[in-house]
Structure 1
Amino acid sequence: MMRSLLAATSLVAVCLLSACDKPPRQRPTERSVLLAEVAPAPGAIASVLGQVRQAQRATLSFDMAGRVTSMAVHPGDRFVAGQVLATLDPVPARLRLTQARSEALAAHGESLERAEQLRQQTALFDDGAASQSSLTQARAADQVARGKAAAADAAVELAQRDLERSRILAPFAGTVVTRMAEPGSDLSAGQAVLAVEGEGELEVVASLPAALVSGLTVGDTAQLVGPDATAVSVRLSHLSTHLERGAITEGIFRVVAAPGRLSPGQWVQLRLAGKSASASYVAIPLTAMVPGTPAGNAAVFVFDVAHGQVVHRPVTVVATNGDRAVIGTGLSAGERVVAAGTAFLTDGQAVREFDGDSGLENH
């Protein structure tokens, strides 16, 4: 009995000693954060990216199937309007044209014969030597023959058109962008052969946030900032009503006067007029945006003063203006957000406001 009591006492002592050896449970680290006040952004200038392209461009192909016999141009080559750019083997088209012309001759011969028969039946009917039924049959045969002749003439025109279109002619003066076929290739009807662009007016295509589109109309002007920092005027010419992923839509801006080094394929900045930003929008530092959020989404950490912690909150970014992000939904003026170091925070983390001289402006 005494031995059992001693063993139990020893076990309790070991447990107590083990508990004393465990490190104390650590509380979540309280971070010091720099806060920025959410401010109204009436009349903000929205800034979006756009890509320059030629307003005049085309993807060229042959109307019929066939084998490519020649390609006269390569990517980067310049051409003039009407220049031959590529050709198909013309022999099949020539044979079809010859066949169509022969069938047309036969159809017109039959039409002449049926017309003569109708003339004879009409004369006999007038003399009382032919019945009404014979005259009706002659008229029907004449009409059928006329129809066949007309169809044969159309077939000749189509065959002639196919022969002419066995060559691709440049629709305008410009430059070859892409060549998608080589001599000897067998192509199906409508298969792309060349992508070309003109040398005239430039345009900029941009993806516009849905919240921004509500303040835009066709004809509005904006400023394009080129690669040499030259700003020129552009005009909104087309605005899609379809929202991609429910968040953006396409707008096309015509360049009124292009800066010297502007060329198709370049990315440029578009600055839209202030009316596109509603008075309900607010602005925060770009550094307040949480990095690593999924494409098309954005988030910030809002300071909950009552509980001394931060709250992760999704927001809608309408545009950027310098070092500020214009927010459409998710924030209200007067709230405060973490202005830096958001990558090191978690939702609900305890924080305290940084009150030292950081050298940073608290907006």
Structure 2
Amino acid sequence: MLERNIDAARAPGFEENRMMFIKTQKRVAVALLSMVAVVSVAACGGSDEAVDASANEAPNASRYVRVAPVETISSVAPLPFSGTVTASSGADLAFQTSGRVARRVVEVGQRVQAGELLLVLDNPQLAPALESAVAREQELQTRYDQAQRDQRRVDGLFASGAATREEHEQVEANAQALKAALSLARAERARAQALLDETRLKAPFAGEITAVMVDEGQIVAPGQSVLALSGESHLELEIGVLARMLPVLELGQNVTLLQFGEALDVHGEISRIATASLPGALNRVVVRLPQDARLHAGMTLGVALPSTPQQTLLSVPMRAVVDIGLGAPRVFQLREDTVEARAVQLVRILGERVLVSGELAAGDLVVIAGLSGLQHGQRVERVK
């Protein structure tokens, strides 16, 4: 049996028939694999795995790719500023005279009514000064009263011819001088009384104590802030900005509020912009705050302001950008049934997207799947 098989293998034409059979089997296998690949792509609905599998085809073959549109996004470069929240009717309270804090009646966070006593100042010179002013006023009042009586008496004598014109004018001038001196004495007494009253600091309106800057026993100067009082009105935040930022700020503009560096889910509104009169000085910007339980007078709050004019940038999916590590990032733009490589510059990464600049426009389609081995000008088929 073995000898017959060997003899058959040596027969003329046997080797040629065997090679033809092998080639036929290979063609059938390739055809079957191609059909399976096409059916798999259709069945998967254009999955990324099927798209990536097309990368193994011949370079000139049509590639399956998935695309996404180029989008636009408004970009600004925000800068953080911080300040202390105050009420719109808030005020820093101060004594108008110097002295030692004798008694502090209130604490931070305490609510007070208009006219309520807040601080008491001790100035040993004020009470004697008031007593002296009162005594001076009383003395001049007595002398002026006497001068008026003298003037009425001389008026009668002058009318009857018993007093000369010179005597009449002299008495009248003396009364006028005493009247002027009495007016000055009254003003001095009122000033001394006001200074003494200033040693008892009272709330000018109802509100909440947001800051206490002095302790009992501390010496304070005239005009030195000792308490901060916020009225019962809306809250606001005041900050100072440079002149170069004013062109991007406007009344009514919404701004992001920051607490501990994190953005809050509420926004403020620019309510006032005051330009500084001196070159190089900070410009006053007031931000009106919304009604929110987390916000209260006296707290430190931040606000993010744009530092450059708002501009529109292009955004593409992160996976659309290739060759980032080579320092030559690019994307493949779909042009009918081919793709073209477009060089781009990366501006900023935003989650799964990246801001880019380059020869792209909003609405252009860029390849996001099927990028492996993709070449400029290669024919592609878009997978929905």
Match of 2:80 among 41, 46, 49: 49
Q: For residues 65 and 198 of structure 1, do their structure 2 counterparts lie closer, same or farther at Cα, with a shift above 3 Å needed?
A: same
Counterpart Cα distance in 2 of 1:162 and 1:145: 25
Give the superposed CA RMSD.
4.4
Q: Which amino acid aligns with 2:208?
A: G
Q: For residues 277 and 161 of structure 1, do their structure 2 counterparts lie closer, same or farther at Cα, with a shift above 3 Å needed?
A: same
1:144 aligns with 177
- Work out whether residues 49 and 206 of structure 1, in 8 Å CA contact, stay in contact via their aligned partners in 2: no
Q: For residues 159 and 234 of structure 1, do their structure 2 counterparts lie closer, same or farther at Cα, with a shift above 3 Å needed?
A: same
1:224 aligns with 256
Match of 2:273 among 234, 239, 242: 239
- Work out whether residues 157 and 163 of structure 2, in 8 Å CA contact, stay in contact via their aligned partners in 1: yes
Q: TM-score, normalised by structure 2?
A: 0.53
Q: Which amino acid aligns with 2:270?
A: L
Residue 117 in structure 1 maps to residue 150 in structure 2: yes
1:163 aligns with 196
Q: Deviations over 1:172-206 (max 9, x none)?
A: 321242332323x3433333333444453221334
Provide the secondary structure at the position in 2 that maps to 1:214: helix
Q: For residues 277 and 243 of structure 1, do their structure 2 counterparts lie closer, same or farther at Cα, with a shift above 3 Å needed?
A: farther
Shift of 1:109: 1.1
- Work out whether residues 222 and 270 of structure 1, in 8 Å CA contact, stay in contact via their aligned partners in 2: no
Counterpart Cα distance in 2 of 1:119 and 1:322: 96
1:193 aligns with 226
Match of 2:166 among 127, 130, 133: 133
Find the structure with the greater CA-based Rg: 2
Residue 61 in structure 1 maps to residue 102 in structure 2: no
Match of 2:116 among 83, 105, 111: 83
Q: For residues 200 and 112 of structure 1, do their structure 2 counterparts lie closer, same or farther at Cα, with a shift above 3 Å needed?
A: same
Residue 175 in structure 1 maps to residue 206 in structure 2: no
- Work out whether residues 49 and 207 of structure 1, in 8 Å CA contact, stay in contact via their aligned partners in 2: no
1:315 aligns with none
Shift of 1:232: 3.7
1:1-363 to structure 2, matched below 5 A, reads 44=75, 47-51=78-82, 52-55=84-87, 56-89=89-122, 92-172=125-205, 173-183=207-217, 185-198=218-231, 200-208=233-241, 210-217=243-250, 219-225=251-257, 227=259, 230-242=264-276, 249-255=283-289, 257-263=290-296, 264-270=298-304, 277=309
Counterpart Cα distance in 1 of 2:279 and 2:137: 56
Counterpart Cα distance in 2 of 1:60 and 1:75: 14
Provide the secondary structure at the position in 1 that maps to 2:271: strand
* Equivalenced residues, count: 253
Shift of 1:270: 4.1
Counterpart Cα distance in 2 of 1:175 and 1:82: 14
Q: For residues 262 and 48 of structure 1, do their structure 2 counterparts lie closer, same or farther at Cα, with a shift above 3 Å needed?
A: farther
Q: Percent of aligned positions with the same letter in both sequences? A: 24
Of 51-60 and 166-175, deviating more is 51-60
Q: For residues 322 and 77 of structure 1, do their structure 2 counterparts lie closer, same or farther at Cα, with a shift above 3 Å needed?
A: farther
Counterpart Cα distance in 1 of 2:141 and 2:267: 63
- Work out whether residues 45 and 277 of structure 1, in 8 Å CA contact, stay in contact via their aligned partners in 2: yes
Shift of 1:229: 5.5
- Work out whether residues 257 and 301 of structure 2, in 8 Å CA contact, stay in contact via their aligned partners in 1: no
Q: Which amino acid aligns with 2:227?
A: L
Shift of 1:149: 1.7
Counterpart Cα distance in 2 of 1:193 and 1:120: 57
Q: For residues 53 and 95 of structure 1, do their structure 2 counterparts lie closer, same or farther at Cα, with a shift above 3 Å needed?
A: same
Provide the secondary structure at the position in 2 that maps to 1:180: coil
